[in-house]
Chains A and B, each alone.
Chain A
Amino acid sequence: MTLLNLCLALPALGFLLILAIPGHNHRAIRATALAVSLLVFGLSLGLAVRFDAAWPGYQFVTDVPWIPSPAIRYHVGIDGLSLWLVVLSTLLTPVGVLVSWRYIDRRVKEFYALLILMESGLIGVFVALDLFLFYVFWEVSLIPMYFLIGVWGHERRIYAAVKFFLFTMAGSVLMLAAIIYLYTQAATFDYPAILSLMAAGRLRFSPLEETLLFVGFFLAFAIKVPLFPLHTWLPDAHVEAPTAGSVILASVMLKMGTYGLLRFCLPLFPEASREHAPWIAVLAIVGIIYGALVAMVQPNMKKLVAYSSVSHLGFVVLGIFSFTRLGLDGAVYQMLNHGISTGALFVLVGFLYERRHSLEIADYGGVATPAPNLAAAFMITTLASIGLPVLNNFVGEYLVLQGTAQVNFRWTVFAAIGIILSACYMLWLYQRAFFGEARPEVRAHVSDLNPREWAAILPLIVLMVWMGTATRTFLPAIGAANARILEQTQQNVEFHVHRLAPTSGASAEVLRAR
């Protein structure tokens, strides 16, 4: 239990530590940031090791009062759902530090301070079990990212940063309204307590209430995910953000949305979630296909990857709103996968940018010749991203689609089109950037990976393979948590299952059997 608190507190301390270092001593700042983030990563691995996957409830729980009235508690803990997301955050922060090593050369101190501070917020989002605390962390993680984009971004950084902030803010204020309303009904912000009130039938919402509350939460999360058509902040934010910003944004921050959907929307508003699942699923599918199509025609690498995120995250949302164990497991797994593979893509694009100072695909071509290792790493990441078996994304996508198929086969059919398209845009990108004769300016500027860069990318590549093959490392804990969430959503909503069931009777059969 102290381990988890340490994970939360250490980055905050690191933030202060970095602030205390004189601003001109870049080396010390970087080293400190790296050390702190690695330390936190180590601690989070400790969490993973000591985590009991068989136990479905929260572990490493700390629950102390923070504010007496209204009763707000510092209540943190993790279950299988949050465990790996925490590890993901702690893993990608050192990666973010490493990729910024040369990239960030001005206002270094502020950069690393914010990066480390953000880690605290991100971890907090995933471990908070008090709705209010959750909201606080949710917002806290927003500010550093805003600055990362706005200060260290590219030309249109300000537009992107403000857009990012306002989109997210617009969603989260509605969530705040819903959270407060929930409090006025439940008289507590404590999430497990609210759930047990609901389970005991002492807290009920009228359909209208539930729908409105659901929408309040959902919009905040959907913007963060981002779900079509609320996604337009993402490409801008990604394109303008510095590498580390993009990495953290794509890998961890977007997961805040899907995590929220799964953690809060489903158990709190089971009926509304199920009732609205059809159109949400449709939006998710539209996002999958649409994101892929738009990604295909992007001339800018980061934008391409950003739109691919829209597509990938569509799978996650689809899985969540399939309300099947497979779909949920797949969705969570896909969150992690997307974190790893898209994170790696941004890392690699960042490497390219550091060499050639351009994000336009047209400025590259033939990179494989001067930088074979970079090309190989990019290839593996590309393959992971397009869902090649034995690499990570495949497992997630498979589970999601399999889960969806149990509910509505038509959804699966359309969603699976996204997998075809993902191959189109990624391979086309790869071809344009890496194949062909190397142009003189590419030859002149592009060199192969150096050890620091290897250190940043190799763990991710190893994880891609690991997660694609040894899924048992991760899935049991995730599954236990999802089983519980699913159970929570099944209270008194039996009849919806039938309504959602597909046209063919057989799958309803299967569903009932489960």
Chain B
Amino acid sequence: MPVSLVPSQQELLRIAPEIILALAGTLIMVLAPFSRRRTDNRFGYISLGALLAAGAAALAADQHRGTAFHLMIEVDGFATFFRMLVLGVGLLTALVSFAYLRREQAEPGEYYALLLYSVAGQSLMAAANELIMIFIGLEISSISSYILAGYLREDLRSTEAALKYFLLGSFATAFLLYGVAWIYGMTGSTHLSEIRAALTVAAPAPSELLVAVAAAMLFAGLAFKVSAWPFQVWAPDVYQGAPAPVAAFLSAGPKAAAFAVFLRVFLTAFEPAASRWAAFVWWSALVSMTLGNLAALVQSNIKRLLAYSSIAHAGYVLVALTAHSEAGASAAMFYLAAYALMNVGAFAMVAHFSRRGERYVEVDDFAGLAVTQPAAAALFAVFLLSLIGVPPTAGFFAKFYVFKAALDADLTGLTVLGLLNSALGAYYYLRILVVMYMREPGEAAAAAPSLPASMKATLWICAVGTMLLGVWPTLILGFADRAAAMVR
């Protein structure tokens, strides 16, 4: 067959966001050695620009949907949704990092470059339609996040987080790969649609058990990335140790991208075998929620608390996945978007409040913040309430859609347990609110610096977004609905 090595313009357009990000990353990387000023924000601006441009490109690509590069990439509504989501997370993370890097005296150049690369990897994952492509996207995203987690290399916690993340991440990746190998062995393909076809129409059909084991290994690899039970162990340590903006990024970006893959793989490729995996996802969802919430109850470090809560939230998204329906997919998408807004907001607040060297990261340090900085406290409160799932915030609608999808799929028991879980989860978020609003200001809150402009911008964007989605969820939901319809 005659093949052209030169990709068409359309194909290039369909990967334009990744190209832009990679180029911008490289540009920063090249420029970085020429600027050794720690307070340099230029790279930040470059990356903001790149992210915005990539967003525009993603939207442009959405106008020309279709596959590219031999079915490696498929630009559809789903891909665009997640691309925009991870780009948005990248944008917010970049904004949070402005002040943070300056404060921590860390070099901004490589940081932003890594961030852009990581986002590029996630963006690829969102659009990838083939396991190898997914794998490479995942690795780009992961390896850059390993480094980002250890970016404060003088900091014991940061390096430890990086090491743990790296070792366990690679460990899980090995499982993922093993699964890919087996899938390839069963179906002769790594392309999602072909796998699906092989599972449904191929004769002789591959052994169910083998497929199941392969799917299980894939599940292990992906569940690790989204920190769902029973692969959640790494998350608390890494979130706690990583620099706060990075933790914000980890909890939203890679997670969203991994979920995108999760949805694609399990709702397209393995959809025919749903009877095999749905039962376990049910348990995974339930245990993730419960375990995350219970363990969060007893945390005193706010980053660690948010990490456990992130496990719980992964559980909620898995509830949507358990439903394995279109509604479930769109609910999961909405949830991830909402979660990104509120969780990045919350971590941003932590990043700002913690001061140099992240000294103030205990929940109790926030005592009386509402007195000394009412506006900041109110913004934080919005995020926390949204994390609880109180209307009219995005978090509420996110939970609502998830559980609606679950009920549509007759998952009554899981719904009830999930909702009870969200009541349980309310407790530890409330504790932060309590400390912030109902205690007298402590040393940390009394000396809290005022919000720098970039931080203010992040917090306001997140808060307004959270509230906006809480009042007009359709802003995103319609998008998600249409996108979800196309996953299959």
Interface residues of A, Cβ cutoff 8 Å to B: 23, 67-70, 107, 110, 135-136, 139-140, 142-143, 146-147, 150-151, 157-158, 161-162, 165-166, 169-170, 173-174, 176-177, 180-181, 183-184, 212
Contact = CB atoms under 8 A, between A and B. Distances in A.
Contacts of B474: 67-69
B390 A139 contact: yes
Among B371, B415, B481, chain A packs the most CB atoms within 10 A around the CB of: B415
Interface in B419-440: 419-420, 422-423, 426-427, 430-431, 433-434, 437-438
Given A166-B426, A177-B419, 10 more contacts: A67-B472, A69-B478, A107-B370, A140-B392, A151-B437, A162-B431, A166-B423, A169-B423, A181-B412, A181-B415
Contacts of A177: 403, 407, 412, 415-416, 419
Interface of B: 370-371, 374, 385, 388, 390-392, 396, 400, 403-404, 407-408, 412, 415-416, 419-420, 422-423, 426-427, 430-431, 433-434, 437-438, 472-474, 477-478, 481
Nearest to B434: A158
Contact of A162 (B374, B385, B400, B434): B434
A165 B473 contact: no
B408 A184 contact: yes
Contacts, number: 88
A165 B430 contact: yes
A143 B385 CA distance: 9
B309 to A, nearest CB: 16
Nearest to B426: A169
Given A67-B472, A166-B427, A161 B434 contact: yes
26 contacts: A67-B473, A69-B474, A69-B477, A69-B481, A107-B370, A110-B370, A136-B391, A140-B392, A147-B437, A150-B433, A150-B434, A150-B437, A151-B438, A158-B434, A158-B438, A162-B431, A165-B430, A170-B420, A174-B416, A176-B400, A176-B419, A180-B400, A180-B407, A180-B415, A181-B407, A184-B404
Across the A-B interface, give the 7 residue pairs with the lowest CB-CB distance, nearest first. A173-B419, A136-B391, A150-B438, A170-B423, A169-B423, A180-B404, A139-B391
Nearest to A109: B374
B322 to A, nearest CB: 15
A23 B372 CA distance: 12
Contact of A142 (B390, B404, B478): B390
Contacts of B392: 136, 140
A453 B404 CA distance: 49
Contacts of A173: 419-420, 422-423
Tell me the dominant secondary structure on chain B's binding face.
helix
Contacts of A140: 390-392
A184 B407 contact: yes
A136 B478 CA distance: 21
Given A158-B438, A170-B423, A176-B400, A107 B391 contact: no
A173 B402 CA distance: 13
B199 to A, nearest CB: 30
A68 B475 CA distance: 11
A68 B420 CA distance: 28
Nearest to B472: A67
A389 B430 CA distance: 45
A71 B388 CA distance: 24
B77 to A, nearest CB: 15
Contacts of B473: 67
A201 to B, nearest CB: 23
Contacts of B385: 143
Contacts of A139: 390-391, 396
B419 A162 contact: no
Contacts of A184: 404, 407-408
A177 B473 CA distance: 19
A173 B430 CA distance: 16
Given A147-B437, A157-B438, A70 B391 contact: no
A110 B374 CA distance: 9
A176 B431 CA distance: 23
Contacts of B438: 150-151, 157-158, 161
A162 B390 contact: no
Contacts of A170: 420, 423
B479 to A, nearest CB: 12
A135 B437 CA distance: 25
A353 to B, nearest CB: 19
A346 to B, nearest CB: 21
B440 to A, nearest CB: 11
Contacts of B370: 107, 110, 151
Contact of A143 (B390, B407, B416, B422): B390
A264 to B, nearest CB: 17
Given A69-B477, A183-B404, A135 B415 contact: no
Contacts of A146: 430, 433
Contacts of B412: 177, 181, 212
Contacts of B426: 165-166, 169
Contacts of B434: 150, 158, 161-162
A148 B474 CA distance: 32
Contacts of A67: 472-474, 477
Contacts of A147: 437
Nearest to B471: A66
Contacts of B374: 23, 110
A68 B474 CA distance: 8
A181 B472 CA distance: 22
Contacts of A169: 388, 423, 426
A110 B400 CA distance: 29
Contacts of B390: 139-140, 142-143
Contacts of A150: 433-434, 437-438
B370 to A, nearest CB: 8
A170 B417 CA distance: 11
Nearest to B409: A184
A68 B478 CA distance: 9
Nearest to A209: B412
A456 B371 CA distance: 30
B391 A135 contact: yes
A162 B435 CA distance: 12
B391 A162 contact: no
A416 to B, nearest CB: 37
A68 B472 CA distance: 10
A291 B374 CA distance: 40
Nearest to A132: B400
A158 B412 CA distance: 34
B397 to A, nearest CB: 8
Contacts of A135: 391
B390 to A, nearest CB: 5
A503 to B, nearest CB: 38
A180 B423 CA distance: 17
Nearest to B406: A180
A180 B473 CA distance: 16
A158 B400 CA distance: 28
Nearest to B371: A107
Nearest to B401: A70
B459 to A, nearest CB: 17
A174 B419 contact: yes
Given A142-B390, A173-B422, A162 B416 contact: no
A139 B430 CA distance: 15
Contacts of B391: 135-136, 139-140
Among A139, A157, A173, A174, chain B packs the most CB atoms within 10 A around the CB of: A173
Contacts of B430: 146, 162, 165-166
A157 B434 CA distance: 10
Nearest to A153: B438
A140 B416 CA distance: 21
A151 B370 CA distance: 10
A510 B251 CA distance: 66
Nearest to B435: A158
Nearest to A175: B419
Nearest to A107: B371
Among A147, A170, A184, chain B packs the most CB atoms within 10 A around the CB of: A184
A169 B416 CA distance: 13
